Amino acid sequence: MASGGGSMLEPGWLLPPPARPYLDSIFQKNRRRVFGLLERPVLPPSLAAPTLTYKLFVCGKSGVGKTALVAWLAGTPVSPTHHETLGIEATTVYWPAKPRASGRPVIFQLHLWDCGDGALRKFEHLLPSCKEEVDAVLFLFSFTDRSSFEDLPALMSRVLGADEEKLVRVVIGTKFDLSPHADVTEGDVEAFEGRWGLPVLRASSRPGAAGGRGGLARVTPILDALAERLWRRDQVAAGVTSGEEGSPPA
């Protein structure tokens, strides 16, 4: 499902001063807040925004940086050494955004499900669990591991089923800042995008850098892109175009 037309959400809306109350709602002591299962951002009644909940499944070859990417998006630290995820780990990320056609912001509640590739292959019940009521699948490869890039078509074929059309598909290349040592070139990426119609997002190799306010600008493009594609899917399903008034799905 490739995105088309203009953006339906305002890119970077959370960074300028007018959005400060919404930004503050996902921070605690100048660091990204880690939310418990029953917690959510708190806003003044006059600024209350609807919360939209989505489940995203993160998959990819072992070692590409799935756990590190989730930590980067959540603004939490991660171990500098690689450890294979033994089962399923779920992380909740809240991300405020603003539809272009509406003066009312919304808050995206993103449940990121990370499952180790080894466990996924070994235990047959894990993939159905990860895909149950899923809204988006994030396919990861590493710019420093060409085999992980070449494995993308097989990975997508293995993960996607008959419900492919309703899922948001996102491809993310990790360790992009190590491009001088990259095994995957920009030409490779452009060829993939042209063949599959899926824009490739790029993520840093330093997952903890986005935990403070100073590093937020680095993680914003990916979180904005995820929110945009989920919002667009729901608006298109509701028959809303980019020039019409957007509203949260029922």
CATH of the domain at 210: 3.40.50.300
Report the candidate in 231, 220, 239, 211 with the shortest Cα–Cα distance to residue 74.
Answer: 211
Once rounded to an integer, what is the mean pLDDT over residues 142-168? 87
One-letter amino acid for residue 34 of the chain: V
Strands 136-142 and 168-174: parallel
How many domains would you assign to the chain? Answer: 1
Residue-wise pLDDT for 178-199, tens only, equals 766 678 999 999 999 999 999 9
CB of 32 closer than 8 Å to CB of 210: yes
Q: What does the pLDDT look like over 202-222, one tens digit per residue?
A: 987 664 445 667 678 889 999
Burial pattern 88-102, b for ≥16 Cβ within 10 A else e, equals beebbbbbbbbbebe
In a domain, 245, yes or no: no
Please tell me the predicted confidence (pLDDT) of residue 47: 94
Band of residue 163 on the pLDDT scale cut at 50, 70, 90: low
Which has the closest alpha carbon to 212: 13, 14, 29, 3?
Answer: 29
pLDDT range class, residue 129, cuts 50, 70, 90: confident
Q: Is the pLDDT of residue 3 over 50?
A: no
CA dist 237 and 249 (Å) reads 9
Contact between 197 and 170 under an 8 Å Cβ cutoff? The reply is: no
pLDDT of residue 4: 45
Helix (H, G, I), strand (E, B) or coil at 141: strand
Over the stretch 68-116, which tens digit does the pLDDT of each residue have? 899 889 988 776 666 666 678 889 999 999 999 887 999 999 999 998 7
Instruction: Name the band, by pLDDT with cuts 50, 70 and 90, for residue 1.
Output: very low
Asked whether residue 6 is domain-assigned, the answer is: no
Distance CA 54, CA 66 (A): 18
8 in any annotated domain = no
In a domain, 10, yes or no: no
Residue among 244, 60, 54, 31 nearest 150 (CA): 60
Kindly tell me the sign of the dihedral angle through the C-alpha atoms of 117, 72, 223, 49: positive
With a CB cutoff of 8 Å and minimum separation 6, the contacts of 84 are 62, 116, 117, 118, 119
Residue 117 lies in a domain: yes
Structural contact between residues 74 and 91, judged by C-beta atoms closer than 8 angstroms: yes
| 8 A C-beta contact, residue 73 and residue 227 | no
The mean pLDDT of the chain is 85
Specify whether the backbone of 144 is left (phi greater than 0), alpha (psi in -120 to 50) or beta.
Answer: alpha
Full domain range(s) for residue 23: 17-237
